[in-house]
């Protein structure tokens, strides 16, 4: 206790940082990892739902295939709205990017996806969406909104994988 009965914080604990648990989503698709990776990346514009975009009706959705590559939508007027940047490009097994769809880049979260070969033309897709704590007081709310977004987005990916694997 300090003077006049006040307590002082423990050393190194003056400014604790709250950590918001990452979103972790795992599911399997009936195709090899190469196909799942290709559908997620170079074919993203064929399956990404238009109601999960900024414009609501983009001409195209692009994920550029390299570290530093941009993820964006292109409006009918040709305007590019950036959603994120690729940080890891390891086809066909791993992809990661910073993600700021609808937010400023300084408020980006991180998405990492592993495409795990389960054998027999089956792939386990493991998604970790993290970095919520940088969003401060909005972290839990935005994490919940993104969970709902993933839940409505992923069936489109699964359908695109199945269509291409048929």
* Domains assigned to the chain: 19-43+87-165 (3.30.530.20)
pLDDT for residue 13: 43
pLDDT for residue 8: 46
- Contact by Cβ (8 Å): 124, 26: yes
CA 141 to chain centre: 16
- Kindly report the number of other CB atoms within 10 A of residue 57's CB atom: 10
Residues 6+ apart with CB under 8 A from 51: none
Distance CA(155)–CA(149), nearest Å, equals 11
pLDDT for residue 166: 53
- Contact by Cβ (8 Å): 67, 73: no
pLDDT for residue 150: 97
CA 112 to chain centre: 7
Would you report the helix, strand and coil content of the chain in percent, each value rounded to 5?
A: 35, 30, 35
Nearest alpha carbon to residue 42 among 164, 166, 129, 151: 164
End-to-end CA distance of the chain: 70
pLDDT for residue 164: 78
Question: Prior bond to 140 cis, omega within 30?
Answer: no
| Tens place of pLDDT per residue across the chain (166 aa) | 444 554 444 444 444 456 799 999 999 999 999 999 999 999 999 999 999 999 999 999 999 999 999 999 999 999 999 999 999 999 999 999 999 998 999 999 999 999 999 999 999 999 999 999 999 999 999 999 999 999 999 999 999 999 976 5
pLDDT for residue 26: 98
């Amino acid at each position: 206790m300090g003077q006049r009965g006040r307590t002082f914080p423990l050393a190194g604990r003056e400014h604790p940082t709250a950590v918001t648990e990452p979103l972790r989503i795992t599911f399997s698709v009936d195709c090899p990892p190469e196909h799942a990776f290709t559908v997620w990346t170079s074919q993203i514009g064929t399956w990404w739902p238009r109601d999960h975009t900024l414009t609501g009706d983009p001409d195209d959705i692009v994920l550029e295939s390299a570290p530093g590559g941009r993820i964006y939508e292109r409006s009918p007027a040709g305007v590019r709205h950036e959603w994120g940047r690729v940080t890891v490009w390891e086809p066909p097994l791993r992809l990661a990017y910073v993600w700021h769809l609808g937010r400023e880049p300084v408020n980006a979260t991180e998405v990492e996806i592993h495409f795990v070969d389960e054998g027999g033309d089956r792939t386990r897709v493991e998604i970790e969406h993290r970095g919520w704590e940088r969003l401060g007081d909005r972290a839990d709310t935005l994490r919940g909104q993104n969970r709902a977004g993933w839940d409505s987005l992923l069936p489109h990916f699964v359908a695109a994988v199945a269509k291409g694997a048929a």
